[in-house]
Amino acid sequence: MCPRTGKKLSPQVPPPDASQPTMMRTPIAPAKKRVWDDLVGTVISGRYVVESVLGQGGMGTVFQALHTDLDRPVAIKVLNPQQAAKTSSVQRFHNEARSSGAIGHPNICEVYDLGTLPSGSPFLVMEYITGETLAARVGREKGLPVLDAIDILAGVLAGLSAAHAKSIVHRDIKPENIMLITTPRPGVKILDFGVSKMLGPDPYGEGEDVLSLTRTGMVMGTPYYMSAEQARGDRDLDARVDVYACGVMLYEALAGKRPYTAPNYNALLLQIVGKPPTPLRQLVPTVPERLEAIVVRAMERDRNVRYQSAAEFRAELLAFREEIAPKAKSPPRERTVPADLAHEANRERALAESRNAQRSETTHRGLLEAAETFSGTVEGVSETERPPPTEKSAEVPASKKRREAMDFDDAPTQVYRPDAPPPGLPPLPPMAPRMPSRPPEGVAPRPPRPPPLPSQ
């Protein structure tokens, strides 16, 4: 008998202790199957084999897959079923595919394909990237070296310059959306153009021609990188909101912390609008003054004082980088010649010197023989009687000997002059006087020329 209700109890169930409070027992619901459990191991669109889960968030899940036709890895982002039921989320998803595909820049993650699963959830097929986010590296290192921070921001600004040239504003630049890739070569990739906006007529027909803080997706995520005009709710926003966000990222990359922190959303917006951040050099004294000035200008609350474009911001950073780390000219490499080749080169050089010397001696002999034949007055000198050429003095360096032997400009002056023959050879004899020519027989001689007329 139950002491509380008076009902008869089953003998298998022990009666409850009246001294203990009665507890309401709620049946435990079975564990809800995760959305990605059904996708791993399946094939999407007949060519993407889903292999594993890369990450999962409130908006969707990212999978690693293999493109079977091209045999290369890809990343597939699938919108969660709860978000797929919202028109605004689906629009944001399609906007990411359109924006990334329209830009086509090495510093922006490329989107290859767009589709819808049988469950109704849309998906994006994107470039597979190996690396880590800028947020992960800054969190691990608590601040980056100056050159590393500049190089990363220069890559981000290059991608944004290409986007702005196509009238696309990202609107959600933050370290979590910057991937530092490691393969095939180190670089930077900008992710998630889902909340980007095409400047100009509204593609969704919502009656807006400019950016607005209240637009879909703008309040998603953290507002730490919002510009002052975004925090105020201004509606005439432009590409300079991305410039401001990059200035905040550079500040955080150097200092290891964000310039503004607050306990709630509204307090953070008030700081962004009306409070200057802590000076960067006060947190990191090793930061150069000019770099601090660049960060301050990029984070100006007045967008007319701020850098007017991502390209201008990037040019200022790269000019500063050249000052602190100019590209050193690589020293000339020493030409290392194997021993056998060096020996062969020396042998060829010696043969060339020997040929030059023989050529000088042969030329002088030829002149001697020609003079002997012409004048008939030179006494013959046989080769056996001619003394061998004497060697030059040992004081003359060998390098000078080689230069003299190879100096063909001076060779005619030293060799062909009769008064300066090579050592050991006699000088050329004087040329016979030229005989006056006589007219042939029977021809009268030419009359002498008349004397010149006297000058008046």
> In angstroms, what CA-CA distances link 328 with 155, 201, 212, 340?
22, 49, 47, 35
What type of residue is 188?
V
DSSP characters over 411-443 = HHHHHS-TTSPPTTSPPPPPPPPPPPP-PPTT-
Cβ neighbours around 87 below 10 Å, total: 10
Contacts of 17 (CB under 8 A, 6+ apart): none
φ, ψ for residue 220 (rounded to 5)? -75, 150
Q: CA-to-CA distance for 240 and 29, rounded, in angstroms?
A: 50
Q: Is 172 a catalytic residue?
A: yes
133: β partners: 179
Among candidate residues 409, 406, 381, 404, the one with its CA nearest the CA of residue 392: 404
Q: CA-to-CA distance for 266 and 49, rounded, in angstroms?
A: 45
> In angstroms, what CA-CA distances link 85 with 39, 90, 175, 441?
19, 8, 29, 132
Residue among 151, 172, 238, 242 flagged as catalytic: 172
Q: How many residues does the chain have?
A: 456
State the alpha helices, DSSP H only, in 111-239.
134-141, 146-165, 228-232
φ, ψ for residue 56 (rounded to 5)? -145, 140
By the 8 A CB rule, do 190 and 108 touch?
Answer: yes
Angle between helices 146-165 and 310-324 (to 10 degrees): 150
**Three-class SS state of 280:** helix
180: β partners: 132, 188
Give the strand pairing for 111-116 and 72-79. Answer: unpaired
Q: CA-to-CA distance for 125 and 120, rounded, in angstroms?
A: 16
By the 8 A CB rule, do 39 and 45 touch?
Answer: no
Enzyme catalytic residues: 172
